[in-house]
Amino acid sequence: MVAHCATVAFQGITAVPVDVQVMIGPGKHAMHIVGLADKAVAESRERIGAALHASGLAMPHKKITVNLAPADLPKEGSHYDLPIALALMAAMGAMPADALDGFIAMGELALDGTIAPVAGALPAAMGANALGKGLICPHVSGSEAAWADPEMDVLAPRSLIAMANHFKGTQHLSRPTAGMRDGQLAHGDMADIRGQETAKRALEVAAAGSHNLVFVGPPGSGKSMLASRLPSILPPLQPRELLEVSMIASIAGELADGKLSSARPFREPHHSASMAAMVGGGLKAKPGEVSLAHNGVLFLDEFPEFTPQVLDSLRQPLETGEIVIARANHRVSYPSRFQLIAAMNPCRCGMAGEPGHTCRRGDRCAADYQARISGPLMDRIDLRVEVPAVSAADLMTPAAGGETSATIAARVATARAVQAERYAGLGLHITTNALAPNTVIEEVARPDAAGQQLLRDAADAMKFSARGYHRILKTARTLADLEGKDTVGRIHLAEAISYRMAGRRLTSA
C-alpha cells in the first residue's frame, strides 16, 4: 500500500506542492528516498529512523521506498522529515490512513522524536491555504503560520507522539495564535541632529517618495546618524507589504519566535558582506540582504568600500525590484524592491573638499575613491547630498528647536497617501513616485510652463541622461506632493535638479 502526505518545495517565496509517497514492500531492510532530493533530504533517513524509535515505533524490517513527486522539481532543505515520517506512520498503521488528507506538513525531526523549527512556515501556510488545506508545522512556527488565514487549520505539535495522539483523539492540539511584535524598534530621533538642514530635508524627501539617496561628507559629519533616523520617519508597512516582507523573513529563517512586525525593514550589511550575503544563494538558497530589505531600506555605509562585484549586483534589483539567483540546476528569484541609502566619505582620507584641507595625493585621491561607484549605479540615485562637517556653533546650540521625527513622519505619511491614491486610481500596483514607470511619471509630473523652461535650460546646460530626466521628474513630483500641490512647478524642479547635481564631481548625470 502507498501512503501519502502532502508537503511543499520552495521556489523563491512560493510554496509548490510536493506529494510524499511511501511504500513498504517486501525486500531487505532499507529506506530509499528518490525524487531529486539534495543532501539534507537524503539525511532524513537517519533522523526519521531515530525519531520513530524514540517515539516507540520500530521501523518495519522491510524495504521502504519514499518518492517525492514531481520528480523533476529540486527539493532542498530538512523540512521533508516530518511529512516522510507521517506518511511512513500511516503506511505502518500507526495513524489513521485518511488523517493526513486535509493537511500539508513540514518540519525537521530531532533524534528524540521532537519536531525542530524550519524556515518557511508562513509561505507554506499560504500555499496550503490556497489549496484549501491545513498545515502541520513545528510548534515554534505555529504563530507565524497562523497569520496565513484565521480560518485555516494549523497544527503545531512539539513531537511525533503529540501528532499521533492528536489524530487518535487522545490529546487535542489547540490552534496557535498569530503573534505580532509590539512596538517599533528603538531609533534615534531626528531632533537629535543639529544643523544639517539640507541633509534632513533630503531625508524627508527620500522617505516621502522612496527615492534612493547618497550622503557624501567628511568623517564625523553625521552621515550614519542621519541614515539611522530614516526608519523613524517612514510609515509602517501596509498589510500586503507586511505579508511579503514576512514571507521573505520566514524563508530566510529570520522571523524570531514566529512574530511579525509592521516596522519597515532597515538592513545595514557591513561593507565586507559577500555576494551570497548580499543577493542571496550560497549553500542553501536563502534570500540575501537585498531581499530582506524588500519594501524597506538597504543602508550601505562606507559605500565605496563594498567590493565592485557586490555593488554591481545591486543594479538588477534596483531596476526590476527582483533578484534572480542561479542554482546548480535551476534559478530562484526573490522580491527585492528596496530603497537604497548610501553614505560615503569624499575620498579615502575623508577630507577632500573641506576648507583648509589639502590632500597629499591631490585630486586623484577623491577621483579614485569615487570611481569605485560605477556610473550606472550612481545614475540610479536621485538624491545626492553633501553633508559638511558640523560646526562647533551648530553643536553648541541647544538640541531643542529641531523638528521631531513624529512631526516629519506625519508630513511623509500625508505625501505617501497622496501618491498611493494617485497610482491606485491609475490601476497601478505601486505606492510611491520613485517606482512609477517613465510613461506614467511623464503624465503625472507634467511641469507648468515655467517648469518646462527650466527643465529645458538645465538639460542643455548639464546634459543629463534620459534616465536622469525621468528621475528628476520623480523627485519633483514628490516635492510637489509634500507641498500638497497638484502641478509640478519651477521651484520643485529646481530643488530636484539641485539634488541630482549636488556632488556633480561624483559623476556625470
State yes or no: cis peptide before 70, omega within 30 of 0. yes
220 binds ligand ADP (CB under 6 A): yes
| Helix or strand holding residue 45 (H, E) | helix 44-54
> Applying CB under 6 A, does 223 fall inside the site for ligand ADP?
yes
- Site size for ligand ADP, by CB under 6 A? 14
Q: Is the dihedral of CA 99, 105, 111, 115 positive or negative?
A: negative
Q: Nearer Cβ to Mg ion, position 85 or 343?
A: 343
Residue type, 500: R
CA–CA gap between residue 295 and residue 287 (Å, rounded): 14
| Closest by CA position to 288, among listed 234, 231, 333 | 333
* Rounded-to-integer distance, Cα 207 and Cα 380, Å: 16
Pairing outcome for strands 103-105 and 30-34: unpaired
User: Which of ligand ADP, Mg ion, none sits in contact with 447, Cβ below 5 to 8 A by type?
Assistant: none
Of 390 and 488, the one with the shorter C-beta distance to ligand ADP is: 390
Q: Which does 196 bind (CB under 5 to 8 A by kind): Mg ion, ligand ADP, none?
A: ligand ADP
Report the 3 state secondary structure along 2-38.
Answer: EEEEEEEEEECCEEEEEEEEEEEECCCCEEEEECCEC
- For Mg ion, give the closer residue by CB, 64 or 227: 227
In the bound state with ligand ADP, the residue whose beta carbon lies nearer, of 393 and 449, is 393
List of E strands, 229-344? 266-267, 297-301, 322-326, 331-335, 339-344
Decide whether 8 or 199 has the Cβ nearer to ligand ADP: 199
Q: Using alpha carbons, list the distances in angstroms from residue 76 to 115, 175, 177, 184, 280.
A: 18, 28, 28, 34, 15
To the nearest whole angstrom, how small is the minimum distance from the Cβ of residue 345 to Mg ion? 8
Q: Which residues are at the interface with Mg ion (CB under 5 A)?
A: 224
Toward ligand ADP, which CB reaches closer, 390 or 496?
A: 390
Q: Yes or no: say if 345 and 219 are a contact pair by the CB < 8 Å rule.
A: yes
Is residue 222 at the binding interface for ligand ADP, with CB under 6 A as the rule?
Answer: yes
Contacts of 429 (CB under 8 A, 6+ apart): 423
Nearest to ligand ADP of 328, 392 (CB atom): 392
Work out what residue 57 binds among Mg ion, ligand ADP, none; the CB cut-off runs from 5 to 8 Å by kind: none
Residue 304 within binding range of ligand ADP, rule CB under 6 A: no
> How far apart are alpha carbons 207 and 476 in whole angstroms?
14
Of 393 and 466, CB closest to ligand ADP:
393
Identify the residue among 11, 14, 224, 307 touching ligand ADP (CB under 6 A).
224
Q: Which of 15, 89, 225, 479 binds ligand ADP (CB under 6 A)?
A: 225
How many Å apart are CA 207 and CA 496, to the nearest integer? 15
Determine, following the binding rule CB under 6 A, whether residue 194 of this chain makes contact with ligand ADP. yes
| Residue appearing with cell numbers 505579508 | 243
Interaction partner, residue 141 (Mg ion, ligand ADP, none; CB < 5-8 Å by kind): none
Query: Residue 346 interacts with ligand ADP (CB under 6 A)?
Result: no
193 touches, from ligand ADP, Mg ion, none (C-beta below 5 to 8 Å by class): ligand ADP
Q: According to CB under 6 A, which one of 120, 176, 195, 335 is a site residue for ligand ADP?
A: 195
Shortest CB 263 distance to Mg ion, Å: 22
Contact footprint for ligand ADP (CB under 6 A)? 193-196, 217, 219-225, 343, 390
